[in-house]
Amino acid sequence: MLAVWAEMDAVLADEFRDGNVPALMAPLTVAKAVFAALPSTVRSYYYRGDSACHEKELLHWLSDEKRADGPQGFIGFAISVRMSEALRSAILEVPDGKWQAYGGPDPQVDRECAEVVFVPSERSKHKDSQPLRYMAIRLRQRQGGLFADGSTGTTFRRAE
C-alpha cells in the first residue's frame, strides 16, 4: 500500500504486504502513518483513496474530528466504492435533470455527475455518525443508440 502527497510528489507512507493480503486489509494503519508524516505547517487535511480504502474503521476515523492518533478537526475525504446492486439501483433512480456535466469537452463521451441518495445496508456502531455523501459519474457515448446490441452506451464509474 502506498500513500502519496500528490502536490509535493512525495511518498509519505508505504506498507509492503504479502501477496495473499487483500488490499482492503487495515488501510487505517497507513492512513495514520501518512498524517503523522506531514510537516507541522500543514493546516488543512484531505484524503483520497480507491475502493480498497472503503473500509468502516478508516471511514469512522476520517469522519471523527476528535480522532485518536491523528490530527484533530476536519479531514475532507473522497473514497471510491465498489458497485453493488443496491447502489446501482439508487444511481438508476437519479432523474436526468439532476445530472450535471463536468470536465472538459470530449467529442465522443458526455461526462456527467450527480449526487445519489444512498444509505448502505450495514449499520454503524457509532451513534453520532452521519451518512456519507455518494456521488456517481456517468459516461455516455454520444452515438449510444447506434450500438449493435441496442444499448444506450451508458456506463457508470464507481460512486464516491
Give the pLDDT band of residue 37 (cuts 50, 70, 90). very high
Model's pTM, two decimal places?
A: 0.77
Report the pLDDT averaged over residues 17-42: 90
The pLDDT of residue 154 is 63
For residue 29, CA distances in Å to 21, 33, 56, 118, 151 come to 14, 6, 13, 28, 43
136 vs 62: CA distance, rounded Å: 21
Residue 153 and residue 144 in contact, taking contact as beta carbons nearer than 8 Å: yes
pLDDT, tens digit, 9 for 90 and up, residues 57-116: 999 999 999 998 999 999 999 999 999 999 999 999 999 999 999 988 888 888 999 999
